[in-house]
Amino acid sequence: MIIVPETEIAGLVTPADCFRAVEGVFASMADKSAHNFPVVREAIGHADALYGFKSGFDRKGLALGLKAGGFWPNNVHKGLTNHQSTVFLFDPDTGKCRAVVGGNLLTALRTAAASAISIKYLARKDAKVLGMIGAGHQATFQLRAALAQRPFERIVGWNLHPDMLSRLEEVAKEEGLPFEAVDLDRLGAEADVIISITSSFAPMLKASQVRAGTHLACMGTDTKGKQEVEAEILAAAAVFTDEVAQAVTIGESQHAIERGLIREEAIVEIGAVINGTHPGRTSADQITLFDGTGVGLQDLAVASAAVELALAKGVAIEVDF
Ligand code: NAD
């Protein structure tokens, strides 16, 4: 069995590796050669923790396994990150455990890859201004990955807790781009692409604040009840997602579906655009929205890439198991 510890991931796996891995598995999901299994997420009644696992099988990539972990809010007092996860990969021919891979950094990279993929396939080619809603742990990964997809000229940002926006400003500075903290009216009026990545349970961005031609990647809503943008935005947009079943239950789409504003059948898996079986954006004026809920197959894809890279670079730890 191969172990790739969390401490090795940063030196092994690049955002580009994750982009390729996630793009490939989204395509496999759309052609039905890869499936996610039902998600388990439970409050364990200890340490205020939420624990669960996401699992699946990619028949093409031969990735079988699960990501186990969750949210331990008191970790911050122990010098640990609150989100903890580990990926387990199994040999699909024998069921033997093939690898254990640290999943914390990989989660941020695979989530950033998903919104970056949506920008690659759905944003207007002439997008110049990137709008960021959210400035937490995930947001800097989202920002970096997005900047690789279009020649953005400036970044505007809004966050409920404005003091956190300095994190985004630092990334913008590193990338040589101007950053400005703005209100949501200005963000919507100026941004060509908007990424939302917050823990919000109420809509922040209103339909009246979004202009024609915008691409939105809504990445924060991954649980029942969470919401980042008004459901009316989805009604006005062409809606894409990683997986329809998750979008309508735990994604941003849950609210528009509940209110009868959109139909489940109208939501398109981004893999269909990658495969070329759906055209994606059909006009410069169209609003496109990617509902990124985060699927287990993304975790298996990036963990598999980490294992291959660890083997190739001779840093994989191999143990008898
Ligand atoms: P974090 O705790 O580091 O940051 C939270 C962010 O949300 C901050 O910007 C904070 O200011 C903002 N926020 C907090 N409470 C808010 C509220 N009530 N209203 C509006 N904004 C609020 O978290 P993170 O690790 O950056 O994760 C952000 C979100 O992304 C979480 O909801 C997490 O579950 C989700 N997430 C989704 C995926 C996916 O695949 N879609 C993957 C990882 C994380």
Provide DSSP, 67-133: EEEEE-GGGGGGTS-SEEEEEEEE-TTT--EEEEEE-HHHHHHHHHHHHHHHHHHHS-TT--EEEEE
**Ligand 1 within 6 A of 197 CB?**
yes
pLDDT at 321: 84
Q: What distance in angstroms lies between residue 159's CA and the mean position of ligand 1's atoms? A: 11
Nearest CA to ligand 1 atom 19: 200
Nearest CA to ligand 1 atom 21: 200
Relative to beta strand 238-241, strand 215-218 is unpaired
Helix, strand, coil share of the chain (percent; to 5): 40, 25, 35
Q: What's the burial of 321, exposed, middle or buried (CB within 10 Å: 0-12/13-18/19+)?
A: exposed
Q: Which of 54, 67, 120, 226 is catalytic?
A: 67
Q: Is 206 a catalytic residue?
A: no
pLDDT tens-digit readout, 49-72: 999 999 999 999 999 999 999 999
Nearest to 140 by CA among 94, 171, 106: 171
pLDDT tens-digit readout, 252-299: 999 999 999 999 999 999 999 999 999 999 999 999 999 999 999 999
Residue-range domains of the chain with CATH: 2-107+297-318 (3.30.1780.10), 123-294 (3.40.50.720)
To the nearest whole percent, how much of the chain has pLDDT over 90?
98
**Ligand 1 within 6 A of 111 CB?**
yes
The two structure tokens encoding residue 109? 């990279």
**Ligand 1 within 6 A of 305 CB?**
no
What are the two backbone dihedrals, phi and then psi, of residue 170, each rounded to the nearest 5 degrees?
Answer: -60, -45
**How far apart, in whole angstroms, are the C-alpha atoms of residue 217 and residue 242?**
11
Q: Which atom of ligand 1 is nearest to the CA of 226?
A: 32
Q: Which atom of ligand 1 is nearest to the CA of 204?
A: 20
Q: What distance in angstroms lies between residue 200's CA and the mean position of ligand 1's atoms? A: 7
**Residue 6 clears pLDDT 90, i.e. is over it:** yes
pLDDT tens-digit readout, 106-117: 999 999 999 999
Indicate the SS3 state at residue 196.
strand
User: Quick count: other Cβ atoms within 10 Å of Cβ 289?
Assistant: 28
To the nearest whole percent, how much of the chain has pLDDT over 70?
100
**Ligand 1 within 6 A of 219 CB?**
yes
- Tell me the best of 41, 198, 230 to mutate to test the pocket of ligand 1, counting ligand atoms within 8 Å of each CB and taking the most: 198
pLDDT tens-digit readout, 190-228: 999 999 999 999 999 999 999 999 999 999 999 999 999
pLDDT at 65: 98
Verdict on whether the full-model pTM lies above 0.90: yes
Tell me what the mean pLDDT of segment 10-33 comes to.
Answer: 97
Long-range contacts of 72-79 (CB under 8 A, 24+ apart): 72/47, 72/48, 73/48, 73/49, 74/47, 74/48
Q: Which atom of ligand 1 is nearest to the CA of 114?
A: 40
**Ligand 1 within 6 A of 136 CB?**
yes
Residue 41 near residue 70 (C-beta atoms within 8 A): yes
**Ligand 1 within 6 A of 123 CB?**
no
pLDDT tens-digit readout, 74-105: 998 999 989 999 999 999 999 999 999 999 99
pLDDT at 48: 95
Stretch among 68-77, 152-161, 170-179, 233-242 having the lowest mean pLDDT: 68-77
